[in-house]
A and B are shown apart, each in its own frame.
Chain A
């Protein structure tokens, strides 16, 4: 049977080459789009690890202030911000904050092990403000920060990279060049680059004694609006002359960051659906036309005893064999991506995309072949032969 189908396809090789190419190309398009979508959805599924709601980010520009003036101003803010009933919590941090555009990567060495964690310098209140879940030990506190060796909180990826299965708490490793830091806590997730970003090795370092921060994070009572922001900015500019401050709502930053992924995803999806719909219509047309031409063949087969079902399956079988060829060819090319590790995506994403693309292709051809095949099957032998 299969052999027969191949022979039939070979007899029409020119025409079928076109169909084969079309299916092959559709497969590649589907593979590309599905890889992109599956990868991003998988990222999106991973827990974010912090709570962005009602958080404002206050960015400070120190302008022409000297180092000492900046530090003094920072102490002043620290006291002043406690006075607002609207502010539930606040925390000082460096500029690489959630949904921002900055990142800072450092080297971390432990014996022979080397890692490059994303590094954050924040104060002791950061964890409770963003509600980061600490799984081992605890966040650094004032007492830790007074110790001779800097306390650091690392995530589980960095823990794996540096210490493997050994317990991490209390270990000391080289963070930021030559300086050692001591692990006081381990946390699970903090995807500060957004839901669609990949989890990376990370560490939170406590600030040095004279460190000047550039950002203050504020967790506000729900429903606090721009009126309070205006008042806050006015107070800050009066409290310390020469400082410019601006407020970003972390919620808004998040929306923009997510849009940068959603938008291309939707555009790709719309364009490729149109392409595939177009291919489906074309395929339907071609199959329908083919069956019209092959009436004589159908008539002869019916006359020598083939049932309606036989005829129907023959045409579906032909298309299935053809699409299998296209899919095998397409998979050969698609499989090169995980084999060569081109874009560095996890292997299972490519495999899932290949499987999904194969399913879509078969669904597509099954739908397109169904009606023409049924039409062929229902053809009366007398009518079919009459035309010959």
Chain B
């Protein structure tokens, strides 16, 4: 039966090349755009290099202080003091990593200037995140204690500073006029990885300012690794309890301390929606709603096209009905046809998306991004195809199947 439907569908597609082209163009373009968005979202929201343990990591990267009347507030990253003194003392986590955020360093090669993004990190940073070392190894407790001027640099920094594929291990790099010895080279990290993207990683003991001062606001963030995802509620409870027991010194103007340990998704949602509240639902809602809206126009277009083509098939419908085909038989047949069409369009769309993503990866427009069309994205794409096929097929199919036999055989209006 299905084989028959597919055969008919194939013949119909070949009958009028222009209409098939219009349908396929709309479908494949729409699905290509959706697939590209899905690939990017997958890369952003699912654990990827080097944040492979992202599923069981919480981030502490935003501290808000308010005065008693809640009229003034100040918000920034956390202070080293807060992370080192309070967060690190928590019992539930497996590990706590501390790193700075938003620092830069300048280096010069000949008459060229390199502006490098820099993170000051602790030794646990290299255990919480799974960096791939092309050369050497990370720094540890010894380097931090000895105030050693050592640096872990990215592949890209190595290529720009020392020359393409030159070994950098043991060599000296001059940053802001200070010499550091390279002890490791890591694979590049895409710029949108919140806790790990940088050109350069230095031990926090070499921070030039007074990073150990007390207070809660500062330029650092913490990554808290739990033993498993199921520990999150216990971990958050312990964290909130710890925060509630902190006494802000009486003489401070900003007395109220607000800080949360967030999952990656919670963090990205609040960034995107610029909201203080738990905004995961809003973020996902807007994302899915936006994709649905984007599908709507091409779907309506396809509905109109399909509906106006009923007449082409009127005699076929009439004959099938006369020989006893029920409405639901016909509805299913037309739906199968439409879904076949969307699947073909989807395949073309997948190809288009693949080409665009390869191009994005190679052009370097999005620094160090390596998007992959993976199995999850493929499944999402398949889902989109089915939704699109149903969305654009149900209405015309129902209209076709309801056509009166007499009218249909005559080939006239319904």
Interface string of B198-217 (1 = CB under 8 A from A): 00000000001110000000
Give the interface size class of chain A: 35 or more
Are the C-beta atoms of A233 and B298 separated by less than 8 Å? no
Min C-beta distance of A70 to chain B, whole Å = 13
Is A271 an interface residue when CB atoms closer than 8 A count as contact? yes
Interface string of B297-334 (1 = CB under 8 A from A): 11011111101110110000000000000000000000
Stretch at the interface among B25-33, B238-246, B268-276, B375-383: B25-33
Interface string of B362-402 (1 = CB under 8 A from A): 00000000000000000000000000000000000001000
Is B22 an interface residue when CB atoms closer than 8 A count as contact? yes
CA distance A21 to B307 in the complex (A): 14
Are the C-beta atoms of B209 and A246 separated by less than 8 Å? no
Closest B residue to A235 by CB, please name it.
B177
CA distance A278 to B399 in the complex (A): 24
Q: Please tell me which one of the listed residues B29, B33, B210, B399 contacts residue A63 in the complex, with CB atoms under 8 A apart.
A: B210
CA distance A290 to B29 in the complex (A): 26
Min C-beta distance of B153 to chain A, whole Å = 18
Within 8 Å CB of B296, what residues of A?
25
CA distance A360 to B107 in the complex (A): 52
Q: Please tell me which one of the listed residues B33, B104, B115, B303 contacts residue A18 in the complex, with CB atoms under 8 A apart.
A: B303
Are the C-beta atoms of A63 and B111 separated by less than 8 Å? no
Residue in B104, B210, B307, B308 whose Cβ sees the most chain A Cβ within 10 Å:
B308
Q: Please tell me which one of the listed residues A26, A278, A286 contacts residue B29 in the complex, with CB atoms under 8 A apart.
A: A278
Closest A residue to B301 by CB, please name it.
A282
Is B146 an interface residue when CB atoms closer than 8 A count as contact? no
Are the C-beta atoms of A233 and B300 separated by less than 8 Å? no
Are the C-beta atoms of A18 and B300 separated by less than 8 Å? yes
Is B89 an interface residue when CB atoms closer than 8 A count as contact? no
Are the C-beta atoms of B22 and A244 separated by less than 8 Å? no
Is A104 an interface residue when CB atoms closer than 8 A count as contact? no
Is A29 an interface residue when CB atoms closer than 8 A count as contact? yes
Min C-beta distance of A348 to chain B, whole Å = 27
Stretch at the interface among A46-54, A115-123, A191-199, A222-230: A222-230
Q: Please tell me which one of the listed residues A15, A247, A275, A289 contacts residue B106 in the complex, with CB atoms under 8 A apart.
A: A247
Are the C-beta atoms of B297 and A275 separated by less than 8 Å? yes
Min C-beta distance of B283 to chain A, whole Å = 18
List residues of A (115-158) whose CB comes within 8 Å of B's CBs: none
Using A25-B296, A237-B177 as known contacts, say yes or no to A61 and B209 having CB atoms under 8 A apart: yes
Min C-beta distance of B279 to chain A, whole Å = 20
Is A83 an interface residue when CB atoms closer than 8 A count as contact? no
Min C-beta distance of B388 to chain A, whole Å = 13
Min C-beta distance of B392 to chain A, whole Å = 11
CA distance A225 to B109 in the complex (A): 12
Is A19 an interface residue when CB atoms closer than 8 A count as contact? yes
List residues of A (25-63) whose CB comes within 8 Å of B's CBs: 25-26, 29, 61, 63
Is B127 an interface residue when CB atoms closer than 8 A count as contact? no
Q: Please tell me which one of the listed residues B18, B297, B303 contacts residue A279 in the complex, with CB atoms under 8 A apart.
A: B297
Q: Please tell me which one of the listed residues A22, A64, A248 contacts residue B297 in the complex, with CB atoms under 8 A apart.
A: A22
Within 8 Å CB of B303, what residues of A?
18
Is B162 an interface residue when CB atoms closer than 8 A count as contact? no
Are the C-beta atoms of A290 and B308 separated by less than 8 Å? yes
Min C-beta distance of B235 to chain A, whole Å = 33
Are the C-beta atoms of B113 and A229 separated by less than 8 Å? yes
Using A64-B210, A246-B106 as known contacts, say yes or no to A285 and B307 having CB atoms under 8 A apart: no
List residues of B (1-46) whose CB comes within 8 Å of A's CBs: 18-19, 22, 25-26, 29-30, 33
Interface string of A1-30 (1 = CB under 8 A from B): 000000000000011001101100110010
CA distance A206 to B84 in the complex (A): 41
Are the C-beta atoms of B311 and A244 separated by less than 8 Å? no
Are the C-beta atoms of B176 and A246 separated by less than 8 Å? yes
Are the C-beta atoms of A246 and B104 separated by less than 8 Å? yes
Closest A residue to B112 by CB, please name it.
A226
Is B354 an interface residue when CB atoms closer than 8 A count as contact? no
Within 8 Å CB of A282, what residues of B?
22, 26, 301-302, 304-305
Are the C-beta atoms of B22 and A289 separated by less than 8 Å? no
Chain A residues in contact with chain B, CB under 8 A?
A: 14-15, 18-19, 21-22, 25-26, 29, 61, 63-64, 225-227, 229-230, 233-234, 237, 242, 244-248, 271, 274-275, 278-279, 281-286, 289-290, 293
User: Which 3 A-B residue pairings sit nearest by Cβ, starting from the closest?
Assistant: A282-B301, A226-B113, A63-B209
Contacts A63-B208, A281-B22 known; 10 new A-B pairs at CB < 8 A:
A61-B208, A226-B108, A230-B108, A233-B106, A244-B208, A281-B25, A282-B302, A284-B22, A285-B308, A289-B308
A-B contact pairs, 6 of them (CB 8 A): A226-B112, A229-B106, A242-B208, A282-B304, A289-B311, A293-B311
Chain B residues in contact with chain A, CB under 8 A?
A: 18-19, 22, 25-26, 29-30, 33, 104-106, 108, 111-113, 115, 176-177, 208-210, 296-298, 300-305, 307-309, 311-312, 399
